[in-house]
Amino acid sequence: MPLVPMKQLLDEAVKGNYGVGAYNVNNMEQVQAIVWAARDTQSPLIVQASRGALKYSSLVYLKHLMLAAVEENPDLPIAMHLDHGNNLDSCKTAISLGFTSVMIDGSLMEDGKTASDYEYNVKVTKEVVNYAHERGVTVEGELGTLGGIEDGVGSGEIHVTDPAMVQDFVEKTGVDALAVAIGTSHGAYKFKSEPKLAFDVLEETGKRLPGFPLVMHGSSSVPAELVAVVNKYGGKMPDAKGVPMDAIKKGITMGVRKINVDTDSRIAMTGAIRKVFGETPDKFDPRDYLKPAREAVYNLLITKMKDFGTAGHAKDFAPKSLDDYRQLYAKKDRK
């Protein structure tokens, strides 16, 4: 099965009323853990890389790790997605590498830190949509900003999405999916107390954009048991707190179709590696600690794919290609 456009996965999730996890990767062990979990749960899958991850891997290495996963799992529908593209050029780079989907985060300026205005967001998002759709590539946009900073991205301030603007934004830009800010944050320290998410924003957005795929960023749950392993073996994450899974499930019932997960995988890997170093300090072969790290991510994501409702949907539909979607977009533009 070839790589599929992310739009197809999200449209199918709309039909089935479930969420699709979008899992960030940086290295081989993460890619394998994520894809093996999807294979064993028969889940459609979004594998995503940030600009930081692509830079870390010198672009082509990460590309081929993802393509290896596709080759190894020909019956699994997989989309390759750029997380938080900051301008047209970063999206062009991802598309040239074979990514079937890109996110343009026009809610921030090109530095990835300064909040932009609405006009700028519409302009840069529309530029990316025009370029990507000519090639059949899916585009995710964002309205509002999250708290926290991760991988160098984030203003550090939460600006909750205004539902009154979402329909105008989607119509003017032509995006295929919309990330909305409802109070979540990047990183492992999302909340100081019990999280209070703006579900009223999700509800109103869903009314204004019925059946349109919404996206939750900053959606790692930061499981206490994984943090406990890190802390037990020398880590210092005393106040880490994430988005409860019950809140994510509620979001899915309200139209969230893509759920971004990064921090949880990092914590799972770190805990497993620290445990090896703590219990067997004589170990020095990277395989001795990367193998359990890979297993920890695999076990974590098995549960997420089931919780999101993705499990069992891998063979619900016949996969389409970028060329199929290029023709669909062209037909839509002619109307």
CATH number, domain containing residue 106: 3.20.20.70
Residue 335 lies in a domain: no
Tell the residue number behind the tokens 């899992």, with chain if given.
23
- Whether 146 contacts 158, CB under 8 Å: yes
Report the domain count for the chain: 1
- Residue 230, token pair as written in the block: 């890190």
- Residue 7, token pair as written in the block: 């739009």
Q: Read out DSSP for 262-288?
A: -HHHHHHHHHHHHHHHHH-TT---HHH
Cα–Cα distance measured from residue 268 to residue 114, given in angstroms and rounded to the nearest whole number: 31
Residue 151 lies in a domain: yes
Active site residue ranges: 83
289 by DSSP, 3-state: which? helix
Residue 1 lies in a domain: no
How do the pLDDT tens digits run along the chain, 335 residues long? 569 999 999 999 999 999 999 999 999 999 999 999 999 999 999 999 998 898 899 889 999 999 999 999 999 999 999 999 999 999 999 999 999 999 999 988 888 778 889 999 999 999 999 999 999 999 999 998 765 445 544 445 667 899 999 999 999 999 999 999 898 766 665 556 666 788 999 999 999 999 999 999 888 888 999 999 999 999 999 888 788 999 999 999 999 999 999 999 999 999 999 999 999 999 999 999 999 999 999 999 999 999 999 999 999 999 999 999 999 999 887 65
Residue 302 lies in a domain: yes
Residue 162 lies in a domain: yes
pLDDT of residue 218: 83
pLDDT of residue 194: 65
pLDDT of residue 88: 96
- Whether 73 contacts 37, CB under 8 Å: no
Helix, strand, coil percentages in the chain from 3-state DSSP, rounded to 5? 50, 15, 35
- Whether 79 contacts 99, CB under 8 Å: no
pLDDT of residue 334: 62
* Radius of gyration of the CA atoms of the chain, in A: 19
- Whether 322 contacts 57, CB under 8 Å: no
- Return the closest-CA partner of residue 248 out of 282, 218, 224, 278: 218
pLDDT of residue 258: 97
pLDDT of residue 160: 87
174 by DSSP, 3-state: which? coil
pLDDT of residue 188: 60
Cα–Cα distance measured from residue 62 to residue 55, given in angstroms and rounded to the nearest whole number: 9
Tell the residue number behind the tokens 């999101």, with chain if given.
308
- Residue-number span of the structural domain to which 99 is assigned: 6-329
Q: Is the dihedral of CA 331, 257, 201, 155 positive or negative?
A: negative
pLDDT of residue 149: 46
Residue 334 lies in a domain: no
